[in-house]
Structure 1
Amino acid sequence: MTTVAGKPALGSVAARLERLPHSRWHVKVRFLIGAVTFFEAFDQLLAASALPVLMDEWNLSTGQATFAVTAASIGMLLGALAAGWLGDRVGRVRTVALGVGITGLSSLAVAFAGSIETFALFRFVQGLGIGGVVPVAATYINEIARSDKRGRFVLLYEMIFPAGLATATLVAVWVVPNLGWRAMFLIGALPVLIAVALPRHVEESPRWLLARGRVEEAEEIIARIEAQVEASVKEPLPAPAPVDPALEEKAAGTGRIRELFQGRYLRRTAVISGLWFVAYYVNHGISTWLPSLYTKEFDLDLTTALVFTLLSNVTGLLGTFIAAMVIDRIGRRPALIAALTGAMLALGVLALLGATSGTQVAIFASCTTFFLFAINAGLYLYSPEMYPTRIRATGASFGGLWNRAGVILGPVTVGAIIGAGGSLSLVFAQLAVVAAVGAVIAWFAIETKGKTLEELNS
């Protein structure tokens, strides 16, 4: 292990990770971290699936329903801030394990809630876990991926999130009408088991260990990873590429949150913050209210409403897969611009048509989620690329702060329009305008395809 000016050689670890061929080790890690992400997505959408039943069971007003669905979002906002700081100081894997443990235990508590107040309180705590896990998990996946295939590697992993959303809706189609909404939250408590297993089976990020000056641990872990990969591919690993000493020295060290707003990182932080806000404002403005819109506005039965919602999640999964296949070739910036423009057009057409039937809304909402899910997954790839190892989790989670702001304001705005007697055309028109603003912001994004994390931040 080489060092530079008494500091750990981060670049040498990057070179050793870059030369690793895809192997069973990568599959194992992506599966275990992916299981965490799957259940975080599953738990995130539970309130939306339960909301139509809760509104009748507890005789909720539109304002109370909004309170119920946004409580977790406020927790996610605070959790994202805390987890980013924690992930850069105690480690990626420990932070993810802590967050998923909080998520599972809180879901169990929600299942026994007896009022809208206790429901919202436990959903808030659950949001702390969900908001913290996802950006830190994405940071970890970025740090173990090769630069030439990082886009595909990360986005195929990120497909697990929309898969979790789709599964939550699919399970809800049968569970909520037959077993009740509480059963959904009992299922959402399963991640507690993953929280216990994760630190034992997933190695900490060698990049993070070196950035913290823990050279011996980094050497031990990278050697262990190399041994597993070599055993998997059954041939010697290629030699690492030469390391640029200047790259190493700049990449290591202890980060400070103020770096997000200094020098080159100020523009990066501004762009990704805007993109996060737009993507999640539009996404949750739609997804949170869809089941209720189908039942209240179009008098559809609960099963049909949940099936239509499932359709939107399935098309979102397809959009994420297509993005994973092309993003390393066309680049992050063109992909973001195209997807935001597509979402704008789908929403704009729906607004012009007047959103006159549940089927019409289902079709165009599904076209919208096709693009939106690809944007969301792309941002979990793009945000960690923007920052050096010492502040990578903090930077990715700061973007998550803005996505949580969008998660809160999107449903609140839609709820306010509906509550004030506004038309569905107005609901979808304002979402189209926000998506258009996002497409403009994406023009100012920098391109990152094919570059190592150290090259982007040297």
Structure 2
Amino acid sequence: MATDDRADARSETITTSVPARLDRLPWSRWHWTVVIGLGTVWILDGLEVTVVGSIASRLSEEGSGLPVSAAQVTGIAAALYVAGACSGALFFGWLTDRYGRKKLFLITLAVYLAATALTAVSFSSWWFFAFRFLTGFGIGGEYAAINSAVDELIPSRYRGRVDLVINGSFWLGAVGGALLSVLALDTGLFAMNVGWRLTFALGVVLGLVILLVRRNVPESPRWLLLHGRGEEAERLVADVEKRITAEKGRPLPEPAGEITVHPQAAIGFGAIARTVLSTYRKRATLSFSLFIGQAFLYNAITFGFGAILTTFYDVPSGSTGYYFAVMAVGNFLGPLLLGPLFDTLGRRIMISSTYVLSGLLLSVTAWLFDGEHLTAKTLTACWCVVLFFASAGASSAYLTASEIFPMETRAMAIAFFYAIGTAAGGISGPLLFAELTETGVVADTTLAFQVGAALMTLAGLVAAALAVNAERRSLEDIAAPLSTAAPTGARS
């Protein structure tokens, strides 16, 4: 027997307008709290990845305090970081769907903080490698917990641009990491075995600040509904509505429609696998393709950019951060400026065009590099243009996986495609790229560029055929929850 949205028993159904009420909210200070509390962790990820790439040459020098080579830092350490992220995404993704978004986005940040702090005091290579893995483990969990929470709290008409900017904020951290590495590697300021440790310590400080803000972000009302906590979801949304009404000084528009669900404690792995890989197999193919393309491009090139500059253009190790900072700015501007188009022109045209265009531009860059027509500055300029489009496309991969599958599977879907795609491109990429750039042979590095370009272009063609028109639609309309009494979401 159905009950209204005040029902709170898993044995009954809940008919509620909570999702529609969230989607019709105007942008407010409350939404900024969500974005700052949850989205800023990507800045930490960008800081982490960039710092390691920038300090690779310094760590390999005698007197750094660690007996490692540059290839080990950009290859083994990078691959372990990504392997940790894949493992963490799967582990914490399952827990996120089972125990809630808020519990997990607090736990995953705590894991990151502890591992980063212990990286800063590394005294041997095995310690450094172990805690690079655990740092990635925490960050991987963040991807699943944060993307699912953000999409469930942000109104549908803003979801695309907000998700892209949040994921693209990785590059704000990259700018900070690049400039910080320049400062930290200056032996006139810090001893050779101290400066690189301070860069990791700063990540801990920033993480603690984010943790304080994040404590004010609520649980997802959508998750509460599907776990039989309808009254709690109702109170939470009512409180948000009251605050926004007071802020705007006018009544809110009426919500459009209701949804009826059968609350349940958890969905098993079998049901998740059948839903994602069978019921929505075309969407699974789309997500897998997008993650493969962006993971290989970004993990391979990002970790090896500093090595390219020092190997082929004799840029001093202490100056590579300047070049990376310029490139990172181009990366952030892509999602920032192109993000609104994902909500207006639509997902299909924007996802496919950003992937294909970045792939074609990367092919041109590879040709110029192979012909030795580039300098350190012009190569950086080419990368800025390529990654302006690639960054928006890469961010849309996370948006896609988080919005096109039923809510009960959302965190696990993000985790699964992130882990599979990143394992294929993100682990093999750094290992292969470190090996290729270490040879000092132009043709070897060109090959890595060409592989990345081909995978991005192919992913764009898949998106042109399979992308879902999810712009300005509620999550429940894009993919009805498995527990919906009368499913309405189109499946493909």
Tell me the distance in 2 between the aligned counterparts of 1:263 and 1:141. Answer: 26
Give, in whole Å, the separation in 2 of the partners of 1:415 and 1:124: 18
- The answer for the alignment partner of 1:442 in structure 2 is 463
CA RMSD of aligned residues (A): 2.2
Tell me the CA shift for residue 155 of structure 1. Answer: 2.3
> Does the 8 Å contact 1:252/1:389 carry over to 2?
no
With over 3 angstroms needed to count, the CA separation of the structure-2 counterparts of 1:185 and 1:239, relative to structure 1, is same
**Residues 257-297 of structure 1 deviation map (CA, whole Å, 9 limit, x = unaligned):** 32344443222122101211111111121111001211122
Amino acid at match of 1:440: L
Report if aligned partners of 1:251, 1:454 keep a CA contact under 8 Å in 2: no
Cα deviation, residue 121, structure 1: 0.4
1:414 is matched with which residue: 433, 453, 456? 433
1:155-234 equivalences under 5 Å are 155-177=164-186, 178-179=189-190, 180-194=195-209, 196-198=211-213, 200-234=215-249
TM-superposition CA deviations, 1:143-172 (whole Å, max 9, x none): 112222221232233342221222211222
- Name whichever of 116-125 and 365-374 sits farther off: 365-374
Match of 1:123 among 132, 155, 169: 132
The aligned counterpart of 2:57 is 52
Partner of 2:485: none
Q: State the Cα deviation string for residues 350-383 of structure 1 (Å, max 9, x = none).
A: 2212353322321222222212211122122221
2:261 maps to what in 1?
249
The 8 Å contact of residues 97 and 195 in structure 1, kept in 2 or not, is answered as no
Residue in structure 1 matching 2:403, options 373, 379, 385: 385
Alpha-carbon distance in 1 for matches of 2:116, 2:60: 19
Give the 3-state SS of the residue equivalent to 1:354 in structure 2: helix
1:348 partner amino acid: S
List per-residue Cα deviations over 1:403-439 (Å, max 9, x = no partner).
4212212212212323456423223222222222222
Counterparts of 1:301-450 in structure 2, within 5 Å, are 301-355=316-370, 356=372, 357-405=375-423, 406-419=425-438, 422=441, 423=443, 424-443=445-464, 444-450=466-472
Identical-residue share of aligned pairs (%): 27
| Residue 457 (1) aligns with residue 479 (2) | yes
**What are the ranges of 5 or more consecutive residues in structure 1 without an aligned counterpart?**
none
User: Is the Cα–Cα contact under 8 Å of residues 79 and 132 in structure 1 kept in the other structure?
Assistant: yes
Equivalent position to 2:301, from 283, 286, 289: 286
CA, structure 1 residues 293+436, in 2 after alignment: closer, same or farther (shift >3 Å)?
A: same
CA contact (8 A) 2:81 2:134 kept: yes
1:383-403 deviations in Å (ceiling 9; x for gaps): 111112211111111121134
2:289 and 2:366 mapped to 1: Cα distance? 24
2:231 alignment partner AA: E
Is the contact between residue 97 and residue 199 of structure 1 (CA under 8 Å) also seen in structure 2?
Answer: yes
| Map 1:131-142 → 2, pairs under 5 A | 131-142=140-151
Using the alignment, how far apart are the partners of 2:340 and 2:262 within structure 1? 32
Structure with the higher fraction of residues in helix conformation:
1
Measured in 1, the distance between the counterparts of 2:451 and 2:348 equals 24
**More deviation, 308-317/438-447:** 438-447
Matches of 1:104 and 1:141, distance apart in 2 = 21
The equivalent of 2:17 in structure 1 is 12
Classify 1:251/1:194 alpha carbon distance in 2 versus 1 (closer, same or farther; 3 Å).
farther
Contact 1:98 1:195 in 2 (8 A): no
Give ranges in structure 2 of 5+ residues lacking alignment. Answer: 481-492
Matched, 1:266 2:285: no
Separation of aligned partners in 1, 2:117 and 2:232: 36
Distance in 1, Cα, partners of 2:286 & 2:11: 34
Give, as a single letter, the amino acid of the residue that structure 1 aligns with 2:461. V
Say if 1:384 and 1:395, in contact at 8 Å, map to a contact too.
yes
SS at 1:147 equivalent: coil
Measured in 1, the distance between the counterparts of 2:70 and 2:50 equals 20
Please state how far the C-alpha of 1:128 moved relative to its aligned partner: 0.4
Q: Secondary structure of 1:22's match?
A: coil
Structure 1 residue aligned with 2:99: 90
What CA deviation, in whole Å up to 9, does each residue of 1:8-49 have, x standing for no partner?
A: 33x511111122111111111211112333223322333112
What TM-score, normalized by structure 1, do the two folds share?
0.93
The answer as to whether partners of 1:169 and 1:309 remain within 8 angstroms in 2 is yes
After TM superposition, the structure 1 stretch with the greater mean CA deviation from structure 2, 70-79 or 359-368, is 359-368
Q: Tell me if structure 2 keeps the 8 A contact 1:77–1:131.
A: yes
SS in 1 for 2:157: helix
The 1:260/1:51 distance shift into structure 2, 3 A limit, reads farther
Contact 1:211 1:252 in 2 (8 A): yes
Match of 1:146 in 2: 155
What one-letter code is carried by the residue in structure 1 that aligns with 2:417?
Answer: G
Letter in 2 for 1:236: P
Q: Distance in 2 between matches of 1:68 and 1:154?
A: 29
Quote the Cα distance in structure 2 between the aligned partners of 1:262 and 1:83: 20
Alpha-carbon distance between aligned partners in 2 of 1:125 and 1:107, rounded to the nearest angstrom? 8
Task: Say whether 1:25 aligns with 2:47.
Answer: no
Of 79, 84, 87, the match for 1:78:
87
Provide the secondary structure at the position in 2 that maps to 1:271. helix
